[in-house]
Chains A and B, each alone.
Chain A
Amino acid sequence: ATPLDPAPQQARAADNGKVLTVAVAQSVDSLSPFLAVRLLSTSIHRLMYEYLTNYDPKDNHAIPGLATKWESSPDKLTWTYTIRSNSKWSDGKQATAQDAAWTFNQMMTDDGAATANGSYVGNFKKVTAPSPTELVIELKKPQATMTSLDVPIVPKHVWEKVSDFSEFNNDKSFPVVGNGPFTLTDYKADSYVRLKANKGFWRGAPKFDEVVFRYYKDQDAAVSALRKGEVSFVAGSPSLTPAQAASLEGAENIQVNDAPGRRFYALATNPGAKAKNGKKFGDGHPSLLDQRVRNALFMAVDREAIIEKVFQGHAVEGEGYIPPRFSQYYWKPSADQKLAYDPAEAARLLDQAGYKKNGDGKRVGKDGKPISYRVLCHATDPNDKAVGKYLQEWWGELGIGVQLNCLDNVTDPWLAGKYDLAFDGWSVNPDPDFVMSIHTCGALPETPEDTGATDNFICDKKYDELYARQLAEYDPAKRADIVQQMESRLYDLGYMNVMAYPNAVEAYRTDQIKSITTMPAKAGNIYGQDGYWSWWSAVPADSGGSSENASSTVVVAGVVAVVVLLAGLGGFAVMRRRATAEDRE
């Protein structure tokens, strides 16, 4: 914002329309709804296709999507969805129950089609479409996710022609036929994804004419782009850094959205990995099997310092398992249950557990060797590394060594149980079932060779009982209560120590986006919602009409070219003159 600065580029004009540009740091893995798993791709699929149901932006409850209503048989094994008749594919054909049935059937019969969302249909017995507006799904056993089947419904008449679902990426011919609020019109790998508003969208046409997701490998570049107005919105990956947020907060025409996150950030402990068949594997440190040790370790972690120093306020201190955003399920330990920061008490606990300091001030394990824990961290996550540094120092004080194992890809040692502690974090869905389920014994892998749904191999009888109870409980309030009991149990076990709930820190230009729906509507996030609310609802700022961005590019390029040319010519002339002057030996 200096005199010379060409006025921040306005919402970009293309085909005389308003364009909303979103800077993203992730690249698209696939545009096929059957293959895509990355957040960016699935968010785009939300825009391209309707799902049976959607989530209410206010409180996350299931609301109609492609299905206008749904009911289940009393035994919860047969679900009947009524498909809306006012949704058309972008090629003009009507979207029907057949399309939905075909989509599910493909996923049930074709391994390739099951790649991304196969888990939803693993329990399906039969899916039929008795009429264009009626979809019937029969289950093998009850399934909690029947109103949150996050599966894009694709047009049968288009996808029928696909021969190999495992290799079809849906990115060759544009526009891509869909029925969501936007239609995909263009895509260039690692460059951009362009979507055009679906004027005939049943819920109402989006206000922007286009949404473009632009890829910035470098988050700083994305933030700079936002500053310049090249993009309208920056999400960051997973969120803007405190420094970026701080610097953007003061900037003109920029709104920083510091929303309570849906993630928790925890320190997971290896409880001794084992499979359902009882086989133990992995090599977690035996001392960690002692609850006192786990608790002591957590008590030596100053969560406040982490919030203050690492997240610089853009997070909330971690307590229970589920972030406070989901107020219904949120639980926090009572004062006496709470493992407050208390290094002295931690040391005492360790002494008590028999891990005493040796002459060098190192605590010694039962095997007589000084204890040093391998902490698995994500090399790509600065927070892991930062917190790791703190852990090193805090636990070092306790006499415990920390070896930070920062890897690009932690999956393998993780699944093999070859770690002692690990940085862990999940995005919590409106329905907590999934994040709760990953700590049940049932989630353990069948054998060490399988991959289970388990997070870090926790298997606790009491927790499992509670889990079973909440599954069967249909009264929301009672169910919430049980969930909170589970959280309490998890807290006490000390295998999963939540340190913080990081905020989602995003920013957008107010001179390009007048308003935008967050989710939850009150203090929520914009990017990566469980629906298409943000982009669908975004209202363009009424700036002085379409900008002359394209022409300003040309002007700048022209100026640069002229300057370069002049400099070159000038240099050449000078050189020629000197050359002739020095034409001696």
Chain B
Amino acid sequence: MTADATPALVEKREPAAGPRVRKGSAYPRYLAGKVAGAAVSLLAVLVTSFFLFRLIPGDPVKTMTGGRQVSAEQLAAYRREFGLDLPLWRQFTDYCGKALTGDFGTSYQFRAPVVDKITEALPNTLLLTGTAFVLYTALGVFLGTRSAWRRGTVGDRFNTGLALTLYSIPSFWLGLLLIIVLSVGIGPLPGMFPTGGMESGGEEGFAYVLDVAHHLVLPVVTLVAVEYGQTLLVTRSALLDEMGGDYLTTARAKGLRDDLVRRRHAVPNALLPTVTLIFINLGRTVAGVILVETVFSWPGLGGLFYQALSVPDLPLVQGLFFVFAAAVIVMNTLADLVYPLLDPRVAR
């Protein structure tokens, strides 16, 4: 503002740029910061996975050879092969160095690069969790919104009650029951769905897609049932929080119809805080899918992890652990990155 500005009733001039940083300039920095943070977290996970699993009692090489007769030289050879003869810190630096180039070593039990084993199983897990994620998020948000808007009604009580109940059910148990009821079939109910696996094998083209979809139903239903409740509850309470908002009174005062007030103002605002949760949930679901994969024999990461732990197949365990944690980190970071694009209030 210049010195000879006439004190006027109202300012006509744009005030000089305040401390708030405009979107264009700050977002890249914010983005860089978040990405750097995520990278640091990933490194930390890398370190953890290395040391955590060294704590598993047992000599991996002896375990690997499964009690077959092996001479000390041969054992030493194996140790050399897997780099286990080096001092821990060397193993660690080697491991980190390789991991940074995407090489997690060779699985002890499968004799295949860990990365290959993971990339083999990852799409299956993603298919399962992705489908479930889309469904439970949609369902949770939809029902949560309805519940909040009709708070206190029978429908709301039923919705929240059901969500809480399903939320309290162990997923594996629900999966088992679903297998009994819908897969094996009880009473007059025929077994409609396959008992496990991802495909019957042998189908091609559209039949293959249908076959996989058919196999997908029960695991997805299980996941959706146990997961949608949280989204519902969070959406509901976020919307209830928003419903006291004065801006809704403003919107109503403007003469907007009730459903417009909800659609245009309340719900979008309430969903913002849920976005983070939704993303984080996806990350966690990827890691939490172990149980469902076990129950439904789904050929995904969960099953692989379980097999790897019992050996312990150190490289595979480490790789999988890294992937699980990375899923969470990546999703968290995505949430961080998306949030400011959606919510203009957040630091840009």
Contact = CB atoms under 8 A, between A and B. Distances in A.
Interface string A383-418: 000000000000000000000000011011111000
A interface, how many residues as a size bin? 35 or more
B90 interface: no
A225 B194 contact: yes
Interface in B221-258: 252, 257-258
Nearest to B199: A191
A408 B57 contact: no
A2 B185 contact: yes
Contacts of B57: 412-413
A188 B299 contact: yes
Interface string A205-244: 0000000101111101110110110100000000000000
Contacts of B259: 579, 583
A585 B196 contact: no
A32 B62 contact: no
B58 A585 contact: no
A278 to B, nearest CB: 16
B296 A221 contact: yes
A287 B57 CA distance: 26
A186 B201 CA distance: 9
Interface stretch (B5-13, B26-34, B66-74, B156-164): B66-74
Nearest to B309: A408
A3 B190 CA distance: 9
Contacts of A27: 303, 307
B201 A451 contact: no
Contacts of A409: 58, 63, 310-312
A137 B155 CA distance: 81
B347 interface: no
B201 A450 contact: no
Interface stretch (A480-488, A538-546, A550-558): A550-558
Contact of B210 (A32, A230, A557): A557
B67 A415 contact: yes
A452 interface: yes
Contacts of A412: 57-59, 62-63
B228 to A, nearest CB: 15
Interface in B186-242: 187-203, 207, 210-211, 213-214, 217
Nearest to B211: A553
A516 B14 CA distance: 90
A458 to B, nearest CB: 15
A417 B180 CA distance: 44
Interface stretch (A4-12, A72-80, A469-477): A4-12
Given A409-B63, A554-B207, A221 B297 contact: yes
A19 B202 CA distance: 11
B111 interface: yes
Contacts of A445: 72
A5 B187 CA distance: 10
Contacts of A225: 194-196
A353 B310 CA distance: 40
B72 A221 contact: no
Interface string A108-133: 00010001000100000000000000
Contact of A447 (B72, B106, B112, B120): B72
Contact of A553 (B210, B293, B311): B210
28 contacts: A29-B111, A30-B110, A119-B69, A166-B111, A167-B111, A189-B299, A190-B303, A192-B199, A214-B201, A215-B299, A221-B195, A224-B191, A225-B195, A225-B196, A227-B191, A228-B185, A228-B195, A230-B200, A380-B310, A411-B62, A415-B62, A415-B67, A446-B71, A550-B207, A554-B207, A556-B214, A583-B257, A583-B258
Given A217-B294, A443-B69, 11 more contacts: A12-B202, A27-B307, A30-B112, A189-B120, A191-B198, A191-B299, A218-B295, A222-B196, A224-B184, A408-B310, A409-B311
Interface of B: 57-59, 62-63, 65-72, 75, 77, 81, 106, 109-113, 117, 120-121, 146, 150, 176, 179-180, 183-185, 187-203, 207, 210-211, 213-214, 217, 252, 257-259, 293-297, 299-300, 303-304, 307, 309-312
